[in-house]
Structure 1
């Protein structure tokens, strides 16, 4: 049986206990912690809503994973201002990957899967008058939905949308125009 010693006192840590990491004494670590705390405070709700609007089945986990990824790559960010764009892009990519994974998994399921129920938190974020729009938005292809959400909900420029989605500005225009046309048609059909 291996015994762990506490780094600060040299005392033995009881078996089964997880040794704690020493406190961050590096100024870069302290800056990362402060930057991430601020990023979380300012943007968690909007990133959660973004994941919901993009169709994530578990938006809380998608956003948590995005924050974890930015935590790991914090030192490679060019500046703190790039963190929000990186986080937004990561939420888009993780949601897209999760949806693709679920589509593949559902193809290989022998019996039909039950309908995915949105979490109480994501449901509470939406007003009743938005539900019809959200339902119509969910019926759009993923790229059209992403382009519309990034453009009209977050108010991003075409170049920012292109960077977040990993496509060209021309493709952003195409997806946005097609998505708006399909959304307009779906909304008029429901009235």
Structure 2
């Protein structure tokens, strides 16, 4: 008796997605954290991307494109989460508690520098932030970034250049304070 082709296909999808999960879960979660600033939400976004990939495995043009599909899915789902957050914030109660004051020793820790860089990163337009996160955090090539975001390599160069220049401007005063 011949094996059931649907069962074979499901088995290969399970194995392939499991291998991708083991190899790339952390990096994809970190990418999403850079974009949405929320560890729990980033994990949920990444998990949903893997579930969607598994469901669409049979429709992938090439299994080699699965990682690019996952990256693009994580970026797109992070965008959607940010749009949803904006709508929720817009309709939230007007009274909010004041932000807690930083501790007295926060200025000398590496966490403060990291927070300043992340805050400056989040002042950038969405596309520049995405390009810089993909380039410097995931160390992707311009071609991979272009494929992930669905833009040209020239646009990747332009967004990276503008974003880097803006970050230098925003971070220059903070760098002088730390010297």
- TM-score exceeds 0.5: yes
Q: What's the offset of the Cα at 1:157? A: 2.1
Q: What's the offset of the Cα at 1:115? A: 8.6
Whether the 8 Å contact between 1:143 and 1:175 is mirrored in structure 2 is yes
Q: What's the offset of the Cα at 1:161? A: 1.3
Query: Are 1:82 and 2:65 counterparts?
Result: yes
Query: Are 1:49 and 2:27 counterparts?
Result: no
Q: Distance in 2 between matches of 1:151 and 1:143?
A: 12
**Segments of 4+ moved more than 6 angstroms:** none
Q: Distance in 1 between matches of 2:52 and 2:130?
A: 21
Who is 1:186 aligned against? 170
Whether the 8 Å contact between 1:89 and 1:164 is mirrored in structure 2 is yes
Secondary structure of residue in 1 paired with 2:63 = coil
TM-score (norm 2): 0.78
Structure with the greater alpha carbon radius of gyration? 1
Number of equivalent positions: 158
The answer for unaligned runs of 5 or more in structure 2 is 100-109
Whether the 8 Å contact between 1:138 and 1:145 is mirrored in structure 2 is yes
Query: Are 1:111 and 2:94 counterparts?
Result: yes
TM-score (norm 1): 0.74
